[in-house]
Amino acid sequence: MLEAMTAALARLAALDAVSTILIGTMIGVTFGALPGLGSVIALALVLPFTFGMDPMLAMLLYAGIMSSVTFGGSVPAILLNTPGTPPNAATCFDGYPMARRGEGARALAISSASCFAGSLGGVIVTLALLPVVKPIVYAFGPPEFFWLVAFGMVMIAFAARGNMIKGLAGGGIGIMISLVGYDDMTGSFRFTYGSDYLWDGLPLVTFVTGLFAISELIAYASRGGSTVADSVDMAGVKWTRQVAQGVRDVAIRPAQTMRAAAIGAGVGIIPGLGGGVASFMSYIIGMQRSRDESYGKGSPEGIIASETANDAKDGGALLPTVAFGIPGSPDTAILLGAFILHGLQPGPTLLREHMDIVCLLLFGIFVSQIATSAFGLVSSPLLARISVIRSRWLAPFVLSLVVVGTFMLNQNILDSGAAVLVGIMGYVLRRFGFPLITIAIGFILGPLLETSFLQSMLISQSGFGVFWSSPIALVLMVCTLSALFGPFIADAVRRTRRGDPSKKAQNNTAGRVGR
Amino acid sequence: MTEQRPEIGKVIVDAVLAVIILVAVVDAQGLPQQARMMPTVVGIATLVFLTLGIAAELFPKHAEFLKPRTPRSDDRNQMQAEQPAEWGAALRVISYVLLFWVLIFFFGFYVVPPVLVALYLGFEGGVRWRFAIPLAILATLLTLAGLAVLRVQPWIGAGPELIDGYVGGAVMPLF
């Protein structure tokens, strides 16, 4: 292992390796920043070009793209409330309000520093778990998977703080929309109502981009002004100073950062969950644990939670990919193809014979992240100035980007139409109190929940008993149920202890009269 | 203390959503057992939440128990819907967004974005025409160049073929 790490580091020090990483980083940032694109398209695009390349350099190019897309996606999420990639949606909730307060550069710097911290965490976790990954991945069967996803669903209640009913209803709406289309398990069509377009359901990118980008576009274009609120005194905004503040924000929160990195890497290891789940789960757990009153309204902790997890996931997702040939996320699925294209067979053989390439990939992700973070920190003061451009100047360009971006995914113009309709729906729902975060969580997790439930039932010999048949499933079940009913029980206990406030008031009045 | 009045808009939206979900739940009953399980369970739960939402809006005093006091019981949505614009202004933007897509559907990426971006910048953004027009053209050219790099054939529009290969005459996608 040490030998492989040394060989990888030596290869990484070469000029061609560094320049390849930088090219990958530039491609990744660009593809991340453009709504509708993302790492999958970027990786798929460069895949054929790497055919004749040295496999090590090709891996570095992939590493550069994979690790930098996340930061690229956070730029429009923070400045325009338009996530560049679906996992960046959670960054909008705190990043955009910070930009509204004139702290765009600070938020971008937090994102840069968080990406670096997340990447470092992901790589460390991956290297540490590489020898013991087998039992971890095998320990997660459909029942464990079901409870993990269910736990994420229950977190909807927390995501909708203070408006639990609307939040849960929004989550349900998100799930119902995610069910549209062909059902693999039974071979039936659900809610397609004769439409051929709906056979495949709504693509995730289309839904998330429409829900956040279009609805926000309608909001800011109709409101006028700029991202930065009119009440902010721009004379007092020091973009460059904000960058240092942003880095400090991450540095003084090691616990939150490590927690988010652990969540991201952990979710990444489990195949099929993906970056959206990592960032949302980390964001919501962070919300639950945070003491910051401004969480969800422009707190650095919110950006740290989502961006760190989002980047840590890349390292985690590599584990099952290289160890078993099971891709942990859509982009690692393309990476898997790249391995095969270069004559490398993922699995135990790869770990045994080409450990240097695996280490190179991991180190490449880390070095690329250093480049991305450096770029992010240097460019933050400039990028943040987008937030002072008048919204009505930006709106038509953002709309063009969204329409073209969602079209590119499947080269189907109806995807763009669906994004527009989802965006209008999102705008109406948010005006009437439905938190968009819960709708997005429902849409992302709904299909995973259903599939894992049905798979569990299929492999079960004892009905529902499969759901608490393993210790991990049992622990996850307890966590999920206590998260679901905990607030109600705690509230009931609190009310009982304090007594009914109205009766208390009557008693106080009676006491005073009596005196 | 002033009495809290129900927001009729919220009640109407909740009711409309409830009807849509109800239709979906009823429709799901015609599916095979495994396929209908999830829509039925989630649909009924969503219906319950929407009904509770309506009740909470109409009878706020009696619906206090629906709001458990989580550590920070603030209303995130107030942040999300921060100072919403007048509905008139919002409807104007919604119309523009819809028109943008509909015109692109019929006439494609070559002609619609430059025209509509320039018009929006000029009329809504207050940008002078001598800046708005070149900016719109430049943005469109950059987009088309990006599509070319990615080897994606730009959408040329499903309307009648006006300029062969550029405007109209695209194969209709499956609706």
SS (H, E, C) A58-121: HHHHHHHHHHHHHHHHHHHHHHHCCCCCHHHHHHHHHHHHHHHCCCHHHHHHHHHHHHHHHHHH
Q: Which domain holds residue B112?
A: 85-175
**What number of helices (H) and strands (E) belong to chain B?**
5, 0
Q: Which amino acid is at B138?
A: L
Do B154 and B91 have their domain in common?
Answer: yes
Let me know if residue B76 belongs to a domain.
no
- Closest Cβ–Cβ partner in B17, B68, B143 for A164: B68
Looking at the domain assignment, is residue B78 inside a domain?
Answer: no
Q: Does the residue B114 lie in any domain?
A: yes
pLDDT of res. A363:
86
Q: Please tell me whether residues B142 and B102 are part of one structural domain.
A: yes
Is there a single domain that holds both residue B52 and residue B121? no
A494 vs B17, B31, B69: nearest CB: B69
B-interface mutation test, from A34, A283, A393, most B Cβ less than 10 A away: A393
What residues of B are in contact with residue A221 (Cβ under 8 Å)?
93, 96, 124
N residues, chain B: 175
Contact A279/A309 with Cβ under 8 angstroms? Answer: yes
More confident residue, A332 or A383: A383
Q: Is B163 left (phi over 0), alpha (psi -120 to 50) or beta?
A: beta
Backbone CA torsion sign across A283, A288, A293, A297: positive
Q: How far apart are CA A358 and CA A323, in angstroms?
A: 10
Separation between Cα atoms, residue A302 and residue B79, nearest integer Å: 15
Q: What pLDDT shows up at residue A176?
A: 94
pLDDT of amino acid B80: 42
**Predicted confidence (pLDDT) at residue A293 exceeds the cutoff of 50:** yes
Average pLDDT over residues B7-14: 88
| Residue A488 to residue A165: CA distance in whole angstroms | 12
User: Is residue B144 domain-resident?
Assistant: yes
Cα A473 from Cα A466, distance rounded (Å): 9
pLDDT band with cut points at 50, 70 and 90 for residue A209? confident
Pick A297's closest partner by Cβ from B79, B158, B175: B79
Averaged pLDDT for residues A272-300: 81
Which chain A residue has its CA at the smallest distance from B61's CA?
A502
Same domain? For B140 and B168 the reply is yes
- CB-CB contact of A317 with A191 (8 Å): no
Phi-psi region of A432 (alpha: psi -120 to 50; beta: other; left: phi over 0): alpha
Residues of B in contact with A436 (CB under 8 A): 80
Mean pLDDT taken over chain A: 82
User: What is the H or E stretch that residue B143 is in?
Assistant: helix B129-149
Read off the tokens for B72.
């920070």
The CA distances from residue A446 to A81, A146, A277, B11, B168, in Å, are 24, 11, 11, 26, 39
**B119 and B52 in one domain?**
no
Residues of chain B with Cβ-Cβ distance to A423 below 8 Å are 97
Helix (H, G, I), strand (E, B) or coil at A230: coil
Alpha-carbon distance A213 to A427, whole Å? 10
For residues A290-302, one letter each, b for 16 or more C-beta atoms within 10 angstroms of the residue's C-beta and e for the rest, the string is bebebbbbbbbbb
The answer to whether position A512 is within a domain reads no
pLDDT digit string, tens, across residues A371-398: 888 988 998 888 888 878 888 888 899 8
Q: What ipTM did this prediction achieve? A: 0.89
Please give the Cα distance from A117 to A70 (Å, whole number): 13
Burial of A156 (0-12, 13-18, 19+ CB in 10 A): buried
Contact B52 A221 (CB under 8 A): no
For range B67-91, the mean pLDDT: 59
DSSP state of A294: T
Higher pLDDT, A331 or A75: A75
> Measured between alpha carbons, how far is A127 from A355 in angstroms, rounded to an integer?
11
Q: Which amino acid is at A395?
A: A
Domain-embedded: residue A486 = yes
Q: Output b/e per residue, A161-196; b: 16+ Cβ within 10 A.
A: bbbbbbbbbbbbbbbbbbbbbebeebeebbbbeeee
3-class DSSP assignment, residue A25: helix
Q: Tokens 């203070």 belong to which residue?
A: A162
Distance CA A3, CA A336 (A): 24
In this prediction, residue B28 carries a pLDDT of 92
pLDDT reported for residue A341: 78
Alpha-carbon torsion (A478, A480, A483, A486), positive or negative: negative
- Of A257-271, A319-333, A364-378, B47-61, the range with the lowest mean pLDDT is A319-333
Higher pLDDT, B115 or B81: B115
What is the spatial distance between Cα A398 and Cα A306, in angstroms, rounded to a whole number? 23
At residue B6, the pLDDT reads 64
- pLDDT value, residue A510: 43
Among chain B residues, the shortest Cα distance to A181 is held by: B35
Most distant CA atoms of chain B, gap in Å: 70
Over residues A114-141, mean pLDDT: 79
Same domain as B52, residue B93: no
In A414-453, the residues whose Cβ lies within 8 Å of chain B are 414, 416-417, 420, 423-424, 427-437, 446, 449-450, 453
Residue type, A396: P
Contact A190 B73 (CB under 8 A): no
Q: What is the pLDDT of residue A460?
A: 81
Tokens of A433: 């109190």
Three-state DSSP class for A226?
A: strand
Q: What's the pLDDT score for residue A321?
A: 76
Q: Please tell me the total count of domains within chain A.
A: 1
Partner B contacted by A259 (CB < 8 A): no
Whether residue A169 and residue B53 make contact (CB cut-off 8 A), yes or no, is: yes
The residue of B66, B72, B103 whose CB has the most chain A CBs within 10 angstroms, and thus the best one to mutate to test that interface, is B72
> How many residues can be counted in chain A?
515
Question: By the 8 A CB rule, do B159 and A415 touch?
Answer: no
Confidence of residue B65 (pLDDT cuts 50, 70, 90): low
Return the higher-pLDDT residue of A272 and A20: A20
Strand partners, A189: A182
User: Both B89 and B142 in a single domain?
Assistant: yes
- Grade residue B77 by pLDDT with cuts at 50, 70 and 90: very low
Same domain, B89 and B175: yes
* Domain annotation covers residue A506: no
- Please judge whether B81 and A431 are an interchain contact, meaning their C-beta atoms are less than 8 angstroms apart: yes
Q: What is the interface size between A and B, counted as CB pairs within 8 Å?
A: 230
pLDDT band at B72 (very low <50, low <70, confident <90, very high): very low
Cα distance between residue B153 and residue A36, in whole Å: 16
Instruction: Give the confidence band of B76 by pLDDT, cuts at 50, 70, 90.
Output: very low
Query: Do A172 and B127 count as a contact with CB atoms less than 8 A apart?
Result: no
Domain hosting A392: range is 2-494
CB contact under 8 A, B42 and A175: yes
B63 and B89, same domain (yes or no)? no
More confident residue, A472 or B19: B19
B124 found inside a domain: yes
* Chain B residues whose beta carbon lies within 8 Å of the beta carbon of residue A181: none
Share of residues in chain A with pLDDT > 90 (%): 14
Contact indicator for A376, A108 with CB cutoff of 8 Å: yes
| pLDDT tens-digit readout, A24-81 | 888 888 888 877 677 777 887 787 777 778 888 888 888 888 888 888 989 988 988 8
Rounded-to-5 percentages of helix, strand, coil across chain B:
65, 0, 35
Is A193 a member of any domain? yes
Q: Which two tokens stand for residue A319?
A: 């584990």
Residues B22 and B107 in one domain: no
Helix (H, G, I), strand (E, B), or coil: what is residue A260?
A: helix
The band of A421, judged by pLDDT with boundaries at 50, 70 and 90, is very high
Shortest Cα distance from B163 to chain A (angstroms)?
19
A391, A419, A142: which is closest to B101 by C-alpha? A419
B30 and B96: one domain?
Answer: no
Min mean pLDDT across A138-152, A185-199, A400-414, B73-87 is at B73-87
**A101-105, A226-230, A496-500, B73-77: which has the minimum mean pLDDT?**
B73-77
Residue of A nearest to B120 (CA): A396
| Cα separation, B146 vs B142, whole angstroms | 6
Residue A242 or B83, more confident: A242
pLDDT digits (tens, 9 = 90+) for B29-63: 999 888 898 999 999 999 999 999 898 888 877 66
Chain center to CA of A120: 17
Select the residue of B24, B77, B113 nearest A163 (Cβ to Cβ): B77
**Residue B79 falls inside a structural domain:** no
Q: Is residue A255 part of a domain?
A: yes
Whether A514 maps to a domain, the answer reads no
Instruction: Read off the pLDDT of each residue in A322-334 and give the average, rounded to a whole number.
Output: 72
Are the C-beta atoms of A430 and B81 separated by less than 8 Å?
yes
CB–CB contact A195 B175 (8 Å) = yes
Same domain, B130 and B172: yes
Residues of B in contact with A392 (CB under 8 A): 120-121, 124-126
- Average pLDDT of A417-426? 94
- Judge whether residue B140 has pLDDT over 60: yes
Confidence of residue A157 (pLDDT cuts 50, 70, 90): low
Neighbours of A241 (CB within 10 A): 12
Whether residue A294 contacts residue A157, with contact meaning beta carbons closer than 8 Å, is answered with: no
Residue B2 lies in a domain: no
Give one DSSP letter per residue of A451-467, joined into a string: HHHHHHHHH-SSGGGGG
A259: its two tokens: 């927690």
Q: Which of A47, A394, A399, A438 would you mutate first to test chain B, the one with the most B CBs within 10 A?
A: A399
Instruction: Give how many domains chain B has, as a whole number.
Output: 2
Q: What is the pLDDT of residue B44?
A: 95
DSSP of A158-182, one letter per residue?
Answer: HHTTT-HHHHHHHHHHHHHHHT-EE
